[in-house]
């Protein structure tokens, strides 16, 4: 059974959202803030997180909370969808939101379930045991091999790890400090500009195969791997 965690700032238990998910055979859980969400994720990891942005206070739930949760390892691999009214949701469509999709209210039950299934299907196809595939790039982790559009590419160990991390967390934006902590490790003390050096090396290799645009700079935020050009 697919488990969905709904994060909302007030305990309104959005009736349409909840009923639609439950009528589709999904198990629904709720949390009102980052602390409760992390506690729920740790106790019973969901397959999907839905950020229900309240109309009266759109900043209560959304990109800031998602950025806070993204600092935690338990949240990294869980796909996320933002549900918001159109005039509020526009602010959460940017790359800084880190969401896999944004759905506007009023909700259409059929569209909601279709979009949720699409996000879950895309995520499940992206990662399998020892193998990642996204954007025309295939990674064979056990063999330390990269195949791009049928041709093998050679990466140094750090660029390999960096690309693996990006592909596992596609569409999410990470700051230099976050990348240092998650790819290099929190116990390693090196300058943030080191990230730029390795990003440049990775892009140069991908450029040879016309894939350099997959590693995108998000001004004021950091970097992301995205198929959206």
Per DSSP, helices labelled H in the chain are 15-23, 34-43, 63-70, 73-76, 86-89, 109-126, 157-168, 176-179, 193-208
Among the candidates 99, 125, 151, a domain finishes at 125
Among the candidates 73, 97, 125, a domain finishes at 125
Asked if residue 175 and residue 157 are part of one domain, the reply reads: yes
* Domain assignment of residue 145, given as a range: 129-225
Burial class (CB in 10 A: 0-12, 13-18, 19+), 168: middle
| pLDDT for position 208 | 92
Asked if residue 114 and residue 7 are part of one domain, the reply reads: yes
Widest pairwise Cα distance in the chain: 52
Task: Give the tens place of pLDDT for each residue, 60-76.
Answer: 555 667 767 766 666 76
With beta carbons less than 8 A apart as the criterion, state whether 164 and 139 touch.
yes
What is the count of structural domains for the chain?
2
- Tell me the C-alpha distance between 62 and 186, whole Å: 27
Asked if residue 143 and residue 95 are part of one domain, the reply reads: no
- Tell me the C-alpha distance between 111 and 16, whole Å: 13
| Domain CATH for 20 | 3.40.50.2300
Span 168-194, average pLDDT: 85
Task: Give the tens place of pLDDT for each residue, 145-178.
Answer: 999 988 999 999 999 999 999 998 888 899 999 9
| Domain CATH for 180 | 1.10.10.10
Asked if residue 75 and residue 20 are part of one domain, the reply reads: yes
Position with higher pLDDT, 183 vs 35: 183
- Tell me the C-alpha distance between 33 and 52, whole Å: 11
With beta carbons less than 8 A apart as the criterion, state whether 31 and 52 touch.
no
pLDDT higher than threshold 60 for residue 191: yes
**Taking Cα atoms as reference points, which of 166, 161, 153 lies closest to residue 204?**
153
Asked if residue 191 and residue 147 are part of one domain, the reply reads: yes
Asked if residue 203 and residue 114 are part of one domain, the reply reads: no
User: Please, which pLDDT band fits residue 127 given cuts at 50, 70 and 90?
Assistant: low
User: pTM of this prediction?
Assistant: 0.57
Asked if residue 108 and residue 181 are part of one domain, the reply reads: no
Asked if residue 142 and residue 112 are part of one domain, the reply reads: no
């Amino acid at each position: 059974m697919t488990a969905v965690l709904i994060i909302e700032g007030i305990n309104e238990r959005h009736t349409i959202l909840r009923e639609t998910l439950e009528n589709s055979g999904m198990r629904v859980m709720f949390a009102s803030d980052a602390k409760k969400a992390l506690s729920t994720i740790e106790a019973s990891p969901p397959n999907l997180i839905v950020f229900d942005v309240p109309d009266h206070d759109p900043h209560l739930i959304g990109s800031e909370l998602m950025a806070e949760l993204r600092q935690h390892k338990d949240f990294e691999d869980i796909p996320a969808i933002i549900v918001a009214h159109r005039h509020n949701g526009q602010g959460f469509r940017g790359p800084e939101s880190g969401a896999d999709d944004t759905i506007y209210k009023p909700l259409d039950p059929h569209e909601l379930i279709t979009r949720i299934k699409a996000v879950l299907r895309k995520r499940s196809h992206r990662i399998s045991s020892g193998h990642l595939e996204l954007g025309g790039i295939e990674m064979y982790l056990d063999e330390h091999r990269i195949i791009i559009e049928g041709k093998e590419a050679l990466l140094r160990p750090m660029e390999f790890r960096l690309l693996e991390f990006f592909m596992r967390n596609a569409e999410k934006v990470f700051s230099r400090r976050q990348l240092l902590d998650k790819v290099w490790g929190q116990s390693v003390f090196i300058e943030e500009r080191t990230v730029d050096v390795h990003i440049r090396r990775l892009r140069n290799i991908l450029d040879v195969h016309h894939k350099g645009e997959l590693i995108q700079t998000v001004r004021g935020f950091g970097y992301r791997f995205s198929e959206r050009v």
